[in-house]
Amino acid sequence: MQTDIDPRSLIGRKAFDRQGAKIGTVDEVYLDDATGVPEWAAVRTGLFTRDAFVPLEPSEFVDGALLIPFDRALIKDAPDFGVGRHLSPEQELQLYRHYGLDSAPSAGPVAPDRDFGRLAGQEE
């Protein structure tokens, strides 16, 4: 994903799968605590459904929307860790495996103390 985008600008944006089908709306963005780089987005998949975590790399932000290069079914089947708290290293690894990605894009294997904090859509 483009690195010059403010992660807050993703909050509230529509998210689409690789076929262009709408998945939902970006609810939260999760940053790597060590680097501050946006790593994950929680996408609200419907009014009465949960948020699905999606990797921001290799996703793209195009014309005001988040384009996620995975099928809608895979995204909706992502592990459910709830939102509003940090992702543990184990949870992050589960998500990478779910999407068939080896590990964090540029950071290599996840260190045991690596943690992912959230950037909520509202001021705390």
Helix (H) or strand (E) holding 91: helix 89-98
pLDDT at 25 over 90: yes
Query: Global pTM?
Result: 0.79
pLDDT at 110 over 90: no
The span from the CA of 110 to the CA of 19, in Å, is 31
For residue 105, which phi and psi values (nearest 5 degrees)?
-50, -50
* Percent of the chain residues past pLDDT 70, beyond the cut: 77
Nearest to 74 by CA among 49, 104, 99: 99
For residue 95, which phi and psi values (nearest 5 degrees)?
-65, -45
